[in-house]
Chain A
Amino acid sequence: MNIYVAIKQVPDTEASLLVKDGVSINETDIKWILSPYDEYALEEALKLKEKIPGSTVTVISLGPNRVESAIRTGLAMGAENAIHIETAEPFPDHKIIAAALGNAIKQDAGYGIIFMGKQAIDDDSYLTHIYLAEHLGIPVATNVIAFNHDNGKVVVEREIDEGAREKIEMSVPCVVGATKGLNTPRYASLMGIMKAKKIPIKKLSLQDAGIAQLDNKIKREKLYAPPEKPQGRIIPGEPEDAVKELVRVLKEEAKVL
């Protein structure tokens, strides 16, 4: 099976972010990582490859030059092919992003299962995997915490509210939106890292990926930091007294009880 993993490069979760020019983040000094949910997607793809002889895993990403390092991370973990759709700047219209990814996958080879993180932790939009599936006209399951593939059929469990799960059946090809809990992603081995450096990355322009003209219907007007919370106060005293005072202020000052 030709397995695909669509990945995104994002700022590290520990990064403090500053706004530049009112609409984008200042990228100076940012440490970039593979979006954490994409690691679960990639791990599941690699596990599936190991189960089905003759399978391949291809990572695909869209973005400026810097995303090449996220692609190399994917290759180092064990993917053997890579596609990079090069764009000058990131843009916010996820329908266009999904169409470009879908077209590139369709042109590449006959595809089986496409894995992706349920969301990238920058825009937190939760859209691209669903748009991608709809663009290709294939089934999709979101927020997937358990995955099984048997006899050409996919059965997944999707986490819903209050810890409950939906069990979903799909045929192949399909899209799987991975979440935390699906597996424990492997670390890239030193050998994997060395090998990844030599793998050629197939480069596509947006035009190559079937997007003739970039017509964003959704545009970012402003990016800004929310107001800081004013510093709170420590309630002093022995635990017995502090607890009494806490309950009093929660009732009388904060009025939340």
Chain B
Amino acid sequence: MANIGVYVELKDNQFKKSNKEALSLAKKSGADVYAVIFSNDPGQFADVLKGVKKVVQVKNDDLSYQPDLYADTLAKIITEFNLNDFIGVNSAQGKDLFPRIAAKIENAGLVMDCVEMDLANRTVTKPVYAGKLLSKYVMDNPFRLYTIRPNVFPASASDSEAAPEITVFEAVKNPPRAKIVEIIKSGAKKIDLQEADIIVSGGRGIKAKENFALLQELAEVLKAGVGASRAAVDAEFATYDMQVGQTGKVVNPKLYIACGISGAIQHFVGMKTSKVIVAINKDPEAPIFKKADYGIVGDLFKVVPLLKEELQKNL
């Protein structure tokens, strides 16, 4: 039986939630699971790594993300340990890293942003045209790599208590082609929209940049991320990293609250897999109401503060 590898992405030395989804998926397959982690102290993650057969620990003086070092090292690990299936998360780092690994292994194939996987039959499904359609691929490659979309696959607790064995692996240090020289943090502490459980989003109906503060306040009560439609970004009410839609982020939270968003297809495809969609819009004819699970027809400048108050009482 082939082995399955999972790339454990750490962010500021924290275990990303979607790693658990990737690990659960791998463990469910019944094959031996290898978790690959770039950390000088993987013991701190022992609890979440239960049920994994082997932890491949990559040690280095400097473990900050450098694409060439990470890709060269992972390509070597995949071929040396025969990790015929290798799973990661479709995060900003995963999207940068996985194609590089796939390129370095002859005949390796990669499909990113998977929402369905059948490892035994070598088929995967991913959204295309921003989710207007789904495409199922069959992969005829000896080494198959995937990134999974966060919040899609269940993260189940391990039923095995077995602690994994740890193998130390030296990082491959070829001269780097490109070098990350600095991380520029954004001013405000933002919630990652692709991992968020709840998103509050604003459209053209927000009318001005300052009014996003209203959504920010609602988001704080809900511990939600704040998103925006393309119309709001193009009008410069919001920044591009907030844009949800075909030319922005594709998100799938449990709850998506669209405020003053008309619901153009370009926006809808970016959030339609949300479990529950709520629309607040003063135009009863807005297309968003055809797509929302619950709608309130009303002025968002009245409804949003009321909603915030009601939630403060009830949460």
Which of B133, B181, B254, B290 interacts with A224 by CB under 8 Å? Answer: B133
Q: In the complex, A23→B125 CA distance in Å?
A: 13
Whether A13 pairs with B140 at a CB distance below 8 angstroms is no
Q: In the complex, A152→B18 CA distance in Å?
A: 40
Whether A247 pairs with B178 at a CB distance below 8 angstroms is no
Collect the chain B residues with CB atoms within 8 Å of residue A179's CB.
Answer: 240
Q: In the complex, A179→B310 CA distance in Å?
A: 39
Cβ-based interface call for A57 (8 A): no
**Most interface-central of B184, B275, B307 (chain A CB within 10 A):** B184
Whether B266 pairs with A13 at a CB distance below 8 angstroms is yes
Which of A122, A242, A244 interacts with B128 by CB under 8 Å? Answer: A122
Whether B11 pairs with A161 at a CB distance below 8 angstroms is yes
Collect the chain B residues with CB atoms within 8 Å of residue A11's CB.
Answer: 129
Q: In the complex, A221→B186 CA distance in Å?
A: 42
- Closest residue of chain B to A146 (Cβ to Cβ) is B184
* Contact flag A221-B137 (CB < 8 Å), given A232-B292, A235-B294: yes
How many positions in chain B have a CB within 8 Å of any CB in the partner chain?
A: 92
Collect the chain A residues with CB atoms within 8 Å of residue B134's CB.
Answer: 223-226
Q: In the complex, A138→B68 CA distance in Å?
A: 11
Whether A130 pairs with B127 at a CB distance below 8 angstroms is no
- Closest residue of chain B to A93 (Cβ to Cβ) is B109
Contact with A along B174-212 (1 / 0, CB 8 A): 000111111111101111101000100000000000000
Q: In the complex, A135→B102 CA distance in Å?
A: 11
Cβ-based interface call for B138 (8 A): yes
Contact with A along B210-234 (1 / 0, CB 8 A): 0000000000001000000000000
Q: In the complex, A82→B194 CA distance in Å?
A: 38
Cβ-based interface call for B173 (8 A): no
Q: In the complex, A231→B290 CA distance in Å?
A: 6
Cβ-based interface call for B302 (8 A): yes
Cβ-based interface call for B315 (8 A): yes
Collect the chain A residues with CB atoms within 8 Å of residue B91's CB.
Answer: 161
- Give residues of chain B (268-305) contacting chain A, Cβ–Cβ below 8 Å: 272-273, 275-278, 284, 289-299, 302-303
Collect the chain A residues with CB atoms within 8 Å of residue B131's CB.
Answer: 226
Stretch at the interface among A41-49, A70-78, A163-171, A205-213: A163-171
Whether B180 pairs with A168 at a CB distance below 8 angstroms is yes
Q: Tally the A-B contacts, defined by beta carbons under 8 Å.
A: 247
Whether B11 pairs with A235 at a CB distance below 8 angstroms is no
Cβ-based interface call for B113 (8 A): yes
Contact with A along B94-121 (1 / 0, CB 8 A): 0110011011100101111100000000
* Contact flag A256-B255 (CB < 8 Å), given A162-B191, A219-B138: yes
Collect the chain B residues with CB atoms within 8 Å of residue A58's CB.
Answer: none
Collect the chain A residues with CB atoms within 8 Å of residue B17's CB.
Answer: none
* Contact flag A167-B180 (CB < 8 Å), given A121-B130, A127-B110: yes
- Tell me whether chain A's interface is mostly helix, strand or loop, or mixed: mixed
How many positions in chain A have a CB within 8 Å of any CB in the partner chain?
A: 78
Cβ-based interface call for A251 (8 A): yes
Cβ-based interface call for B248 (8 A): yes
Q: In the complex, A130→B177 CA distance in Å?
A: 13
Whether A239 pairs with B302 at a CB distance below 8 angstroms is yes
Stretch at the interface among A14-22, A59-67, A108-116, A193-201: A14-22
Cβ-based interface call for A3 (8 A): no
Whether A250 pairs with B278 at a CB distance below 8 angstroms is yes
Whether A239 pairs with B303 at a CB distance below 8 angstroms is yes
- Closest residue of chain B to A240 (Cβ to Cβ) is B306
Smallest beta-carbon distance B225→chain A, Å: 9
Which of A143, A162, A169, A174 interacts with B186 by CB under 8 Å? Answer: A162
- Closest residue of chain A to B308 (Cβ to Cβ) is A243
* Contact flag A220-B137 (CB < 8 Å), given A124-B128, A167-B180: yes
Cβ-based interface call for A4 (8 A): no
- Closest residue of chain B to A37 (Cβ to Cβ) is B247
Collect the chain B residues with CB atoms within 8 Å of residue A157's CB.
Answer: 184
Whether B310 pairs with A244 at a CB distance below 8 angstroms is yes
- Closest residue of chain B to A123 (Cβ to Cβ) is B128
Some 30 contacts from A to B, beta carbons below 8 A apart, are A14-B266, A25-B133, A92-B137, A125-B112, A135-B103, A138-B177, A161-B194, A162-B241, A163-B188, A166-B182, A167-B181, A168-B180, A174-B177, A181-B240, A217-B107, A218-B109, A221-B137, A223-B135, A224-B136, A225-B133, A232-B289, A232-B292, A232-B293, A232-B295, A234-B289, A235-B296, A239-B299, A239-B303, A249-B294, A250-B255
14 more CB-based (< 8 A) A-B contacts, given A165-B184, A168-B179: A13-B247, A161-B91, A162-B190, A163-B241, A217-B139, A221-B137, A225-B132, A235-B295, A239-B303, A239-B306, A242-B298, A254-B294, A256-B198, A256-B275
